Amino acid sequence: MEFAKNVWKLLVAIKDGLSLLFLLLFFALLFAILTARPSPASVRDGALLLELDGVIVEERSQIDPFQALLAGEAPVGEYDVQELVHAIEAAADDDRINSVVLDLRTFLGGGSVHLREVGEALDKVRAAKKPVFAYGMAYTDDSLRLAAHASEVWVDPFGGALIQGAGGKRLYYGELLEKLGVEANVFKVGTYKSAVEPYIRNSMSEPARENATALYGSLWEQWQDDVKKARPKADIAQATTKPADWVEASGGDFADAAKAAGLVDRIGSWAQFGERVKEVAGEDSGDKTPGAFAHTDLAPWVADNPMPTAGKAIAVVTIAGEIVEGDAGPGTAGGDRIAEALDAALDDDIAGLVVRVDSPGGVVTAGEKIRAAILRQKARDIPVAVSMANVAASGGYWVSTPADRIFAEPETITGSIGVFGVVPSFQKLASDWGVSADGVSTTPLTGQPDFVDGFSPQIERILQSSVSNTYGEFVALVAKSRKLAPARVDEIGQGRVWDGGTARQIGLVDQFGDLDDALAWVAKRAGIEDDDYHARFLGSETGEYQTLLRQLFVGNDRQARIANDLFAVTAQHQAALPAQIAADMQGLMGRQGAQAYCLSCPAGRPSSGMALPGSQMDALTQVLRALSR
pLDDT digits (tens, 9 = 90+) for 146-182: 999 999 999 999 999 999 999 888 889 999 998 989 9
Say if 125 falls within a structural domain.
Answer: yes
The pLDDT of 557-578, averaged and rounded, is 61
620 and 598 share a domain? yes
pLDDT tens by residue, 301-350: 999 999 999 999 999 999 999 999 999 988 899 999 999 999 999 989 99
Q: Is 18 part of any domain?
A: no
> What pLDDT does residue 236 have?
94
Q: How far is CA 347 from the centre of its chain?
A: 31
Confidence of residue 132 (pLDDT cuts 50, 70, 90): very high
- Orientation of helix 335-344 relative to helix 364-378, angle to 10°: 10
d(CA 408, CA 404): 14
- 429 falls within a domain: yes
**Least confident window among 156-170, 439-453, 492-506, 541-555:** 541-555
The CATH code of the domain that includes 470 is 3.90.226.10
- Annotated catalytic residues are 193, 394
Band (69; pLDDT cuts 50, 70, 90): low
Question: Is the per-residue pLDDT at 41 higher than 80?
Answer: no
- Tell me the C-alpha to C-alpha distance, in Å, between residue 162 and each of 151, 214, 242, 244, 300: 20, 23, 12, 11, 33
Q: Are residues 255 and 341 in the same domain?
A: no
Mean pLDDT across 508-516 = 97
Same domain, yes or no, for 180 and 88? no
Report pLDDT for 601.
Answer: 73
**Is the pLDDT assigned to residue 611 strictly greater than 50?**
no
Q: Look at residue 610 and tell me whether its pLDDT is greater than 70.
A: no
In a shared domain, residues 61 and 182: no
Range of the domain at 183: 170-205+312-435+447-531+585-629
Contacts of 321 (CB under 8 A, 6+ apart): 59, 61, 329, 331, 332, 333, 358, 359, 604, 605
Is residue 399, in this structure, part of any structural domain at all?
yes
Same structural domain, 403 and 328: yes
Number of independent structural domains in the chain: 2
Return the pLDDT at 422. Answer: 86
Q: Verify that 117 and 138 share a domain, yes or no.
A: yes
147 close to 265: Cβ distance less than 8 angstroms: no
pLDDT for the residue numbered 40 = 61
Q: Is the pLDDT of residue 3 over 60?
A: yes
Same-domain status, 73 and 124: yes
Burial class (CB in 10 A: 0-12, 13-18, 19+), 308: exposed
Average pLDDT rounded to a whole number, residues 228-243: 94
Which of 245, 272, 304 is the last residue in one of the domains? Answer: 304
| Rounded mean pLDDT, 396-417 | 96
| Lowest mean pLDDT, pick from 154-158, 272-276, 363-367, 587-591 | 587-591
Q: What is the mean pLDDT of residues 445-458?
A: 86
Say if residue 374's pLDDT is above 60.
Answer: yes
Q: Does residue 177 share a domain with residue 149?
A: no
In a domain, 59, yes or no: yes
